[in-house]
Structure 1
Amino acid sequence: MQAARSVLSRTLALAVVAAASACARVSAYAQVDLYSLEAAYIYNFTEFTEWPAARGENAALNVCVNPHTPLGTTLAKLSGRAVAGKTWSVKPIPDGATLAVCNVLIVDDASASAAAKTAAARDLPILIVRPADVDGGDVRNVVTLFREGDRLRFDIDNTEAARRHLALSSKLLRLARNVT
């Protein structure tokens, strides 16, 4: 009886050590791969955003980002996936009036920030997202990602979303740290 308890306690101890080791690896991986985590957040933001009917007729959901940034490269891996009945399509940031092709604009570098500030971009129904650790200047973002300790969090400017005629799901709004 004592031998059986000893074997059982060693087995449980090994299981706890294995689980702790797996958690440590997952935690370390999440800390190292910030771009994959940001890409997952952005993908999910599009699941919980509704664009005006005229913008919703297209079968593609165009995510405009600089393809030469680490986040742009990571987002490109999601191309072709289905989201909210549309096909996720990552495009390079266009110039001027052609910003109208974008459903989402990722402000992760100076060219994206400049594009977001143009007159053409001001009134378009574009979900503007600023990733963590990026200075977006004076661009009005709909979603701003940031790090809080070892966690990735986000704030939502629902006033800006409404001004752009975007409807954000109440589920998304409840998950945000701050909603203005």
Structure 2
Amino acid sequence: MLRALSFLAIVAGLGLAAGACRAQVEGKDLKAAYIFNFAMFTTWPDAAGKGPLFVCASPDNPLWSALSALNGKPINGRPWTVTELAHPKAAHCDIAVLARSMERPALLSAGVLVVRDGAGGKAAITLVEDDEHIRFDIDTQEAAKSGLRFSSHLLRLARNVL
């Protein structure tokens, strides 16, 4: 009997710990993790596959600190490197993370994965908050314009694929 009660107490404790762990990952960090994973399942044009993976965002973007916290982590052998959209290296962005209402900068060239945090403009991937969950939509036509392809695994996870 004592063993059964101890076991139930441990299971209940694990359930509470799991709930606490979920609560610790807030929206900004979770969105940055999504973007990191998008990069793992994206194929860029051949010329873009060497050197750092430049992730460009504005420092006023609410995701800036969460994206920057991933600096140095490898994506398919390329170190994740966050830089400002206004920085000269932005012309060489691999990923541009735009806030909901931000216009796509004209200086972004082909081969850039545009991820938008919230509906409000064109992007290959749009993060959306749906029923208190973070989901994403993929626009394969926007991706194709930039010469990008997504893994079928990523496409299956999307809320909508256009």
Do the two structures share a fold, i.e. TM-score over 0.5? yes
Query: What does residue 112 of structure 2 align with?
Result: 126
Query: What does residue 83 of structure 1 align with?
Result: 75
Shift of residue 43, structure 1, vs aligned partner: 0.5
RMSD across aligned C-alpha pairs, in angstroms? 2.0
Query: What does residue 173 of structure 1 align with?
Result: 155
Counterpart secondary structure, 1:70:
coil
Could you list the per-position Cα deviations for residues 94-145 of structure 1 after superposition, in whole angstroms to 9, with x for gaps in the alignment? 27x96431110001265xx23x152x43x522111112xx453xx3111111
Higher strand share: 2
Say whether the 8 Å CA contact 1:157–1:179 is kept in structure 2: yes
TM-score by length of 2: 0.89
Could you list the per-position Cα deviations for residues 7-42 of structure 1 after superposition, in whole angstroms to 9, with x for gaps in the alignment? 022112211220221122123223xx1111011110
Residue 93 (structure 1) aligned with residue 85 (structure 2): yes
Residue 44 (structure 1) aligned with residue 57 (structure 2): no
Higher helix share: 1
Name the CA distance, whole Å, in 2 between partners of 1:54 and 1:26. Answer: 40
TM-score by length of 1: 0.81
Give the 4+ runs in structure 1 shifted more than 4 A: none
Shift of residue 87, structure 1, vs aligned partner: 1.2
Query: What does residue 67 of structure 1 align with?
Result: 59
- Structure 2 vs 1, CA of residues 173 and 109 (structure 1 numbering), >3 Å: closer, same or farther? closer
Residue 108 (structure 1) aligned with residue 90 (structure 2): no
Name the CA distance, whole Å, in 1 between partners of 2:143 and 2:119. Answer: 20
Letter in 2 for 1:38: K
Q: Structure 1: which 5+ residue stretches go unaligned?
A: 1-5
Query: What does residue 20 of structure 2 align with?
Result: 25
Q: What is the aligned residue count?
A: 162
Structure number with bigger Rg: 1
Higher alpha-carbon deviation: 61-70 or 76-85: 61-70
Residue 144 (structure 1) aligned with residue 126 (structure 2): yes
Letter in 2 for 1:107: L
Say whether the 8 Å CA contact 1:67–1:76 is kept in structure 2: no
Counterpart secondary structure, 1:40:
helix
Letter in 2 for 1:144: T
